[in-house]
Amino acid sequence: MALLVIDVLWTICLHAAVEGNTNTAESVFQAVSLFVLGPVILRRAIRRGTSAHRIVVLKGGQEAALGIGDSLSVFWLLGWRSLMLALLALVPLSLLLKSVVPEGMNAWIRGLAASPVSNALGLTAVDES
């Protein structure tokens, strides 16, 4: 959830500050998010736990702290698997919406999708769901 909030705020601020092409800044942020923010948030969440649940990391049978490389691996696996599931779920939804949406709304939807801000926010919503 924290990563979603950070990503949405970054997208809004970036498009408010920069007119035109924001691909480079977005790519840099996504790389920092993957290699720094995600693993840090994951390590903190595992260390913190909840009152009912606690995740323990074992290395060689002994309890150990989760390293940055390990948390990056876990974050990558969680992100990759959830992305594949989201894409698989969105294909039938897209086909359903394409058949249900009236023809007159297609021009409005295309105009909305052409906006860089709405496009970036839509991609953020799909990526983080």
SS3 100: helix
Chain mean pLDDT for the chain: 76
How far is residue 84 CA from its own chain's centroid?
A: 12
User: How far apart, in whole angstroms, are the C-alpha atoms of residue 14 and residue 75?
Assistant: 25
User: How far apart, in whole angstroms, are the C-alpha atoms of residue 95 and residue 74?
Assistant: 32
pLDDT of the residue at 82: 81
- Residue 96 structural domain: 2-128
On the question of pLDDT at 55 being above 70, the answer is yes
**Helix (H) or strand (E) segment spanning residue 62:** strand 62-63
Indicate the DSSP class of residue 63. Answer: E
3-13 confidence digits (pLDDT tens): 777 777 777 77
Largest Cα–Cα separation, the chain: 63
Tokens 């991609």 — which residue? Answer: 123
Enter the pTM of the model. Answer: 0.55
Judge whether 87 and 55 are in contact, CB under 8 Å: no
The CA–CA distances, whole Å, from 3 to 32, 37, 50 equal 12, 8, 19
| Number of domains, the chain | 1
pLDDT of the residue at 99: 78
